[in-house]
Amino acid sequence: MCGIAGIYDRRARHIDRALLEKMANTVRHRGPDDSGLFLDKEIGFGHTRLSILDIEGGHQPMQSTCERYTIVYNGELYNYRELREDLKKSYAFRTQSDTEVVLAAFKTWGEKCMARFNGMFAFGIWDGVDRALFLARDHLGIKPLYYVESGDRFIFSSEIKAILAEGSVSPEVDPTSLDQFFTYRYVPSPRTMFRGIQKLRPGHYVKISARGNRTEFYWTRRQTRGAQNKNEAVEEVRRLLPEAVERQMLSDVPVAAFLSGGLDSSLVVALMSRASASRVQTFSVGFEGAESGENELPIAREVARHFGTDHQELTIRPGEYWRYLRKSAFDLEEPNGTSATLAQYFISRLAAMNVKVALSGQGADELFAGYRRYSGERLSGYYRRLPDILKQRLLPSLAERSGRISLIRATRSLLRTGQSDRLQSIYAVFPEEDKQSLYNDGFKQSIRGHEGSVSDSIDYWLGAAGAPSDPLEAMLYIDLRVWLPDELLTYGDKMCMATSLEMRVPLIDLDLVEAVEAMPIRVRVPNLTGKYVLKKAAEAYLPKRFVYRKKKGFPMPLLKWLSGDFGEEARNLILSQAGGCHRFLELEHIQYLFDYCRRVKDHRPLYCLLSFELWYRTFILGERF
C-alpha cells in the first residue's frame, strides 16, 4: 500500500518542494520502500510506496505515455489484468503495475473509468492540459482520502497528519463532529474531528480546477435482478467467494491472513488454502485475563491445524495495551470508541514482521446481516402495531428494569417513527437524552442549531438514488456505506498502515457486494436468520462445527482491566482539568459513568471518553505519550 499527498493552488503559484517532501515524509510509514515527487507550477504530488505489485516498475508519481496525465495512487486494482487487455489496444504500457492501468483507463475513458474498477483505492490524477485535478475513493471506502480547502489551496492526503504538516490549517475541534462522535463513537464522512478537514465519501470523486469543485458519486446500489430464492443465493455466493479470495491474493509478495477462529476469517483461510500451492501464514491475538469461554486463541489454533497453516499468535497484556493506547491517537488521527482498534494494531504488528499483505474477514457481518440489531429492525414494523400502552409504557419499563443495555436501546429505537431517527437511535452509544447530561453548557451552545447534523450522513445516503425503503434493507445499506467505511475500515487501515502492512477484505469484494445487494431482502435474510446465505455457502469449504459456532465478536476483558491500575490511570486522565473532557463535558456525569458502566458491564461509553481525551491531548494540546 502507499501514502499519497498533494497541493493544488488555484492562483497558479508554484508549490514549494520542501513543503511537499514534508507532507510525504509524514505518511512514510504507509510506504517505506520507495518515494517520489511531481511538481508542475500550481500542482504538487508526493508519494511513498509499499511495493507489492511490479516491485521494480511501479515508481510514482507516474505519467501517462503522452505526458498529459500524472497519477499518485494508493491501492490495489484487482481486475487490472482484464482491463489491461482492453486498454493495450490503444495504450502502450511501460510497466506491469496496476497504477498504470488506472492511469491508462482515465486517459481512455475519463471519469467513466470508475465504473470499470474493482478494488480498493484512493488516487489523484492531474490533467496538465485542462489544468484540473481528479480525486477518487473506492466504492466502499476501504482506502481513506482526506482534503481541505484553505484560501486558494486545495490540499489532500491519505492521512490527516500530512494535511496538518502543510501548515495552512491549525488543528481545532469541530463541535458538530464531536457531537457525532459521542453519538456513534466515530465521525461519519464527510466530516472529521478537525474543523475544515473532510474525507471524501466512499464511491465518490471530486474534480477541482480554477473554476471550482464538482463532487459526484459514481457507484450506488445495483438495480438489477438478483437471486430470487435461497438456493440460487447460496449457489451464487458459493461461486463468488473463491473468486473474490483468489483475486485478492494477487501479489508479487507473500500474502497471509488474520485468523480469529470465527466464521468469516476461517472461511477466508479455507479459501486461501484451496488456492495456494504453499502453506498459508495465519496470525491471531488474544487477551490476558480473558475468560476461558471468551478466549478465541484455542479456536483459531483448531482452524489453523485443520488447514495446516503456518500459525503465529500473541497474547496482549493490560500494560502493553495501555502503553500503546496512549500512543494510538497519533496513528488513528481521530477518536474511535471501538476497543478492538488496538487488537487490530497488535495483530498487524505481528503479521508485519513476516509479510506485507494480510487478508481479513471484515465486512461480512454488514453484507450478510451478522449483527443482532438486524433482527430488531425487521421486527420494528410489528412493534409499531402494538397498543400504545404496551409500546409507550409497559415494554420500555420492563426493558429498563432488566438492566440490559442492548434491550433498553432496542426498545428506545423501536419508538422512533422516522427511518433516519430510528437508525441513529440504534447506533447511538450516547442517546440524545444522555448527551444532554454529558455535555456542558459551553458545548451545548456551540452546537445549538446544528443538532440535525448528527444524522446528516445517514440522511444523505437514504436520499441517494437507489436507496432501499425496506427498514432492514436500509440498515444494511447504511452499514455498508457509513458504519463499515467510517468506523471499521478506517481503523483497520490506520492500524495496519502504522505497521506498514496492507489489509485486504475479500468478503466485501465488489462483485460479491453487488450480487448480494441485488437479492430481495427475503432471500438475503430469510426468516430473520443472520448470515444464512453465507453460512450455507461456507458449508462447501468449512466443517460445520466451524460454520455454526456461536458468534463472539472480539472478546476483550476491558471491564476487568478497568477495575485495576489501568482503570485508575484512565480515570485520572479523563477527569484531569487540563484535558478535552473537562473543556466540553460535565465531570460530575463522567464520574457517574464510571460506576454505571461497571454496574451494567458496558465499557463503550468510557472507552469513547478515553479515546477522545487521548486524541485531544495529542493533536490539540500537542502532548506526546
Q: 237 with 196, same domain? A: no
Q: Is residue 179 included in any domain, yes or no?
A: yes
Q: Which of 192, 217, 242 is the last residue of a domain?
A: 217
Q: 33 with 141, same domain? A: yes
Asked if 521 and 234 touch (Cβ cutoff 8 Å), the reply is no
Q: 212 with 72, same domain? A: yes
Asked if 340 and 614 touch (Cβ cutoff 8 Å), the reply is no
- Per-residue pLDDT at 499 exceeds 60: yes
> According to the model, what pLDDT value does residue 204 have?
98
Q: 207 with 278, same domain? A: no
Q: Is residue 222 included in any domain, yes or no?
A: no
What one-character DSSP code corresponds to residue 595? Answer: H
597 is catalytic: no
Q: Is residue 152 included in any domain, yes or no?
A: yes
pLDDT, tens digit, 9 for 90 and up, residues 132-164: 999 999 999 999 999 999 999 999 999 999 999
Q: Is residue 617 included in any domain, yes or no?
A: no
Q: Which of 162, 188, 217 is the last residue of a domain?
A: 217
Q: 212 with 235, same domain? A: no
Active-site annotation holder among 2, 496, 581, 608: 2
Q: 30 with 168, same domain? A: yes
Q: Is residue 555 included in any domain, yes or no?
A: no
Radius of gyration for the chain, computed over Cα atoms and rounded to the nearest angstrom: 24
Q: Which of 166, 190, 217 is the last residue of a domain?
A: 217
Q: 18 with 133, same domain? A: yes
Instruction: Give dist(CA 318, CA 288) in Å, integer.
Output: 7
Cell, residue 113: 473509468
Q: Which domain holds residue 543?
A: 230-369+488-547
DSSP state string for 140-168: T--S--EEEEETTEEEEESSHHHHHHHSS
Q: 177-191 burial string, b = 16+ CB within 10 Å, else e?
A: bbbbbbbbbbbbbbb
Q: 112 with 22, same domain? A: yes
Number of structural domains the chain divides into: 2
Q: 178 with 212, same domain? A: yes
Q: 42 with 100, same domain? A: yes
**What mean pLDDT is reported for the chain?**
90
Q: What is the pTM of this model?
A: 0.94
Q: Is the bond leading into 526 cis (omega within 30 degrees of zero)? A: no
Asked if 69 and 107 touch (Cβ cutoff 8 Å), the reply is yes
- CATH code of 69's domain: 3.60.20.10
Q: 244 with 132, same domain? A: no
Q: 52 with 135, same domain? A: yes
Smallest CA-to-CA distance from 191 within 608, 486, 452 is with: 486
- CATH code of 320's domain: 3.40.50.620
Which carries the bigger pLDDT value, residue 407 or residue 231?
Answer: 231
pLDDT, tens digit, 9 for 90 and up, residues 459-472: 999 999 889 988 89
pLDDT, tens digit, 9 for 90 and up, residues 218-275: 998 877 889 999 999 999 999 999 999 999 999 888 999 999 999 999 999 999 999 9
What's at 31, amino acid-wise?
A: G
DSSP lists the bridge partners of residue 315 as: 286
What's at 152, amino acid-wise?
A: D
Q: Give the Å distances, CA to CA, from 243 to 90, 249, 554.
A: 29, 10, 27
